[in-house]
Structure 1
Amino acid sequence: MWRFLWRAAALCTALGVSAQAAEECGFPRAAEFGSLRLAQVTVARAMFTTAGGAPLPGRPYVVQGDLVIQGPSQGGRRCTLWLPLPGAPTDETRGFLRDTQVRPVPAGPLTGRWTAGRPDLFIEIRPGGQVSGQALRFLPSGSANVGEMQGGLTLRGATWVYRSAGCEVTMRPLGPWLLVADDWLQKPDDRRCGGVGVSFSGWYRREP
């Protein structure tokens, strides 16, 4: 089961999603990236539900042609994450969809420049698995803690991993998105991927 991480609680509250539904279908950990898939909605409207099929408060839904990220099938349903594309609302939407409402599609290429909505948080991946990236955390004093990546990626199953000087960052490209998790999730005070509070973790969009 996907675990409940990062901003999931705040996002689900904003969307009117119950705490139970959020715990059932949270953002995946790095170890779970390999079990994810990209899928496309094939029905006119697919309503998000709990794992048992109960409607979610607010009755969130996706429409035919939408791309979603999904975990393994559980009783004919999959934990599903819809992430916004440029021009769409900025909130994530999550819940369960039936297997019959979607079809799997290819994950797409890894290369490109990926951004997380801020110019100071980006990852660029070039042919041959060479990666560079930057993450900043601005401090009240006006200074900033900096995290950087520069080097090669190693394929580990369906995921790509960057390792340097004890810093480990896991990536999974899924269509227009790149999911990223680093050591900060388990060790928020660890400086190996940058200064305190610096993290590459989250989801990124591919730049045009």
Structure 2
Amino acid sequence: MTAPRPAAPLNRPPQSRSVRAAGLAALLLTGAAHAVSPQAPTTPATVTGATCPADWRDLDPADLRAAQITATRLTFTDARGTDSRATAQRGALLLQGPATGGRRCSYFVPPSGMPDRVTRGFVLDTQVRAVPPTTELGGTWVRDANTGLTLTRADSGHWTLTGSLTAALPDGSVSSANLNGPLRHDANRWTYRDGRCEAQLHVVGNWLVAADNGRCAAPDVTFGGLYHHVR
């Protein structure tokens, strides 16, 4: 028996030399383009509609952090990166909100002062360094001349909060209030409860940020605010 012949290969039309040359040239040009094309620089995303509220207390205390300026001179911007007139120097401390497209709503905090409503705006994360939360909680913390908190740690490891507040009311009278009781640590905050009054303390860098439920003193009087460690 005669062995079957292998099937003949399919006939393909021969390519002309000009077609092959054109294809090779296209491949070479494509490779060269990929080799020399520079990558676009990475820029922070523009966040449409993001704002930096005049009152920093409108931000969630759990989202706050402390930072120190590392740039020689820092200019605050809006969320789009447009410069404002507000500036701050290297070494200054900022109270910052959460990251938004590589920027954070930031407030300049003068020594022993409150976050500035004027010197504020968005700041690039690359212009600052985060300040870790202090572990030195014991002692006295002051918000202003009329409001202070004292944290005391017992030998048992339990903490106690005492506080005092004096505030002038619109009718000309003076309101005073006091805190005195145990502190409980919950995740990233400290909680104080006494009857209807509830207050929370967040350690933010070298500051304490306090917020209460509005039932710790007279109406519209609060222990809330930013406290500096004095002793």
- 1:195, 1:107 → 2: CA distance? 31
Aligned partner letter, 1:149: L
Q: Which residue of 1 aligns with 2:142?
A: 115
Aligned equivalent of 2:128, options 93, 96, 102? 102
The 5-angstrom pairing of residues 59-208 of structure 1 reads 59-86=85-112, 91-92=116-117, 93-108=119-134, 109-118=136-145, 120-127=146-153, 128-139=158-169, 143-184=173-214, 192-208=215-231
| Mapped pair 1:45 → 2:63 | no
**What stretches of structure 2 of length at least 5 have no aligned partner?**
1-49
The secondary structure found in structure 2 opposite 1:203 is strand
The secondary structure found in structure 1 opposite 2:83 is coil
Measured after TM superposition, the shift of residue 22 of structure 1 is 4.5
- 1:183, 1:165 → 2: CA distance? 12
Measured after TM superposition, the shift of residue 76 of structure 1 is 0.7
Report if aligned partners of 2:95, 2:115 keep a CA contact under 8 Å in 1.
no
- 1:117, 1:41 → 2: CA distance? 25
Report if aligned partners of 1:136, 1:198 keep a CA contact under 8 Å in 2.
no
Query: Structure 1 pair 90/78, CA: closer, same or farther in 2 (3 Å)?
Result: closer
Question: TM-score scaled by structure 2?
Answer: 0.67
The secondary structure found in structure 2 opposite 1:110 is coil
**What stretches of structure 1 of length at least 5 have no aligned partner?**
1-19, 185-191
User: Percent of counterpart pairs with the same letter?
Assistant: 34
Measured after TM superposition, the shift of residue 89 of structure 1 is 9.5
The secondary structure found in structure 1 opposite 2:77 is coil
Question: TM-score scaled by structure 1?
Answer: 0.74
- 2:139, 2:224 → 1: CA distance? 18
Q: Which residue of 2 aligns with 1:187?
A: none
Query: Structure 1 pair 142/52, CA: closer, same or farther in 2 (3 Å)?
Result: closer
Measured after TM superposition, the shift of residue 175 of structure 1 is 3.3
The secondary structure found in structure 1 opposite 2:62 is helix
Measured after TM superposition, the shift of residue 174 of structure 1 is 2.3
Report if aligned partners of 2:107, 2:115 keep a CA contact under 8 Å in 1.
no
Aligned equivalent of 1:27, options 56, 60, 65? 56
Provide the aligned C-alpha RMSD in A: 2.5
Q: State which structure, 1 or 2, has the greater radius of gyration over its C-alpha atoms.
A: 2
Aligned partner letter, 2:56: F
Identify which of structures 1 and 2 has the higher relative contact order when contacts are C-alpha pairs closer than 8 Å and 6+ apart. Answer: 1
Aligned partner letter, 2:144: G
- 1:68, 1:140 → 2: CA distance? 32
- 1:154, 1:89 → 2: CA distance? 26
Report if aligned partners of 2:107, 2:116 keep a CA contact under 8 Å in 1.
no
